[in-house]
Structure 1
Amino acid sequence: MSSKFQRYTGATLSSHDQVARALGADIITGVYPPGTKIPPEADILERFGISRTVLREVLKTLTAKGLIVSKTRVGTKVLDEANWNMFDSDVLSWRVASGFNTEFRRDLTEIRLAIEPEAAALAAQRATPEQIALLRKRVEAMRDARDSRMAFAEADLAFHQVIGNASGNSLMRSISGVIETALVASFTMASPVDEDAEHEKSVGLHARIVDAIEAGDCDAARDAMRNTIGHGRQRIDRATDTKGD
């Protein structure tokens, strides 16, 4: 299992990460609704069999992510969803664990469409020859990943991370957690490797992004990225229509 996707599966996580993941998921799924208190310290220690030191670090982590707030003589309360840092990779992964409903899939697509096409356009202006070569390498890795959802998803994620780097914009690079979450949806629900035609189309769409970046064509890079994101959304929507939302 790649380290990139461990947060989504819970594989080989430390005690701190396991407990943070479990409590974070409980908060996000409404086991502990906003305004309520999380269980007392003694109950959490008994549930997970951890030390007080580990628990303190877990609570610090959840506080930093905007999920809880601790007050003297009041206890630790769950904050409203408006306070949650949804750009945090862990928070996103816990949201994934609660299910990809229609609203969440829409949110992921909208934020990607708002940012990634512009990142591709900037990359058309700023990408170095080395970054373009790396993008080509990632496309080939996607092409070679015919029998592995994981290998395709990892190559796809790496591709979009290079785009973010090539944009030269540090804020655009920071949404990699959102991109990773969206790709996990593809990986778990409707990977292009499941169908030869879909695999070929996805690889071709990514290759067009690189062609446009290498040509320095901002408009073409922007449009190619939009088409690529749209193709991923269509696959997930078809899978959802088949399985039921």
Structure 2
Amino acid sequence: MKSVLETVISGTPKRTSHAQVVDQLGKAIVSGEFPVGSILPGDPELALRFRVSRTVLREAMKTLAAKGMIVPRARIGTRVTPRKEWNLFDSDILTWHFACGVDEDFLYHLSEVRLAFETHAAALAARNASDAEIAGMMRLAVAMGEASHTPESLAVADLKFHLSVIEASGNPFLRTVGGLIEAALVGVFKLSSPTAEKGGIDEVARNHIRIVEAIGKRDEAAARLAMEHVIKVGRARIRQALSGGKAKA
């Protein structure tokens, strides 16, 4: 299966009817077309809207219920749940937010979570990564500096690097936040790219190389700080895009 980032870059639609209904209905809920607290239209109306069978529709509704977005109520219907009950670690929900438009508060909260998880992952990688893993991370970091990068290829390279740090941390629980990191990088890709800035690619590569150098020295504090810097630079770039700076179309 393609990753969330690859799907966004390629523009390839969801393949199965089930996936398409989940995607479209999820976006409709996130966008506020079906507001929190509202009752969704009945099965016949939704099946007609999405041109699917009731069986496909019901499976899609189960998927959204598992994400915490809706809850069926006997003799009432299916209600949209409060946002605090949504599983915001779910990569689909995060991607729908970016598709529907995000504000600075949303991005700030997302970056705060990344700062908590990824900086600690970098510190753990400095403690636990094998020499082979460190060499692999360095190859990925250096490759981010290739002058031929497009916004799309740089986004993929960025994702591979950050997931490699998570993997090298050796903590299986941290691996579960891969979807959150991917969705965050989808947002960076859609809103802004350093490829549009003079020297932007070189700066990105240098910043990521510093993370690997700290990991290679087994310097947990330096690895944490280097990762923190990368995340904060990305956050500043998105804020600039949202405030009317150089944004990616």
State TM-score, norm by structure 1.
0.93
Q: Distance in 1 between matches of 2:246 and 2:158?
A: 26
Query: In the alignment, residue 80 of structure 1 is paired with which amino acid?
Result: P
Cα distance in 1 between the residues matched to 2:90 and 2:7: 12
* CA distance 1:206–1:3, shift in 2 (3 Å): same
The Cα shift of 1:16 comes to 1.2
2:72 partner SS:
strand
**Contact in 2 for aligned 1:15/1:50 (Cα 8 Å):** yes
Q: Which of the numbers 53, 57, 60 marks the counterpart of 1:58?
A: 60
Which runs of 5 or more structure 2 residues have no equivalent in the other structure?
Answer: none
Match in the other structure for 1:148: 150
In structure 2, which of residues 20, 32, 40 is the aligned counterpart of residue 18 of structure 1?
A: 20
Q: Does 1:5 align with 2:15?
A: no
Q: Which has the higher helix share?
A: 1
Q: Residue type matched to 2:241 in 1?
A: A
Q: Out of 27, 43, 46, which is 1:44 matched to?
A: 46
Q: Would the aligned equivalents of 2:7 and 2:13 in 1 still touch at CA under 8 Å?
A: no
Cα drift, residue 6 of structure 1: 5.0
Q: Which 10-residue stretch deviates more, 211-220 or 91-100?
A: 91-100
Asked if the contact 2:18–2:57 (Cα under 8 Å) also holds between the matched residues in 1, the reply is yes
Report the Cα distance in structure 2 between the residues aligned to 1:147 and 1:128, rounded to whole angstroms.
29
Match of 2:127 in 1: 125
SS at match of 1:175: helix
Q: Residue 244 of structure 2 corresponds to which residue in structure 1?
A: 242
Number of aligned positions between the proteins = 244
Whole-angstrom distance in 2 between the partners of 1:106 and 1:89? 17
- Residue in 2 aligned with 1:162? 164
1:216 match: secondary structure: coil
Deviation at 1:241, TM superposition (A): 2.3
User: What corresponds to 1:212 in structure 2?
Assistant: 214
User: How far 1:137 moved relative to its partner?
Assistant: 2.1
Matches for 1:156-235 after TM superposition, within 5 Å: 156-235=158-237
Q: Give the superposition deviation at 1:191.
A: 0.8
Cα deviation, 1:142-168, whole Å, max 9, x if unaligned, reads 122644111111111111111111111
* 1:72 correspondence with 2:74: yes
TM-score, reference length from structure 2: 0.92
SS of 1:242's equivalent in the other structure is coil
Q: 1:204-223: per-residue Cα shift (whole Å, max 9, x none)?
A: 00000000101100011001
Contact 2:191 2:241 in 1 (8 A): yes
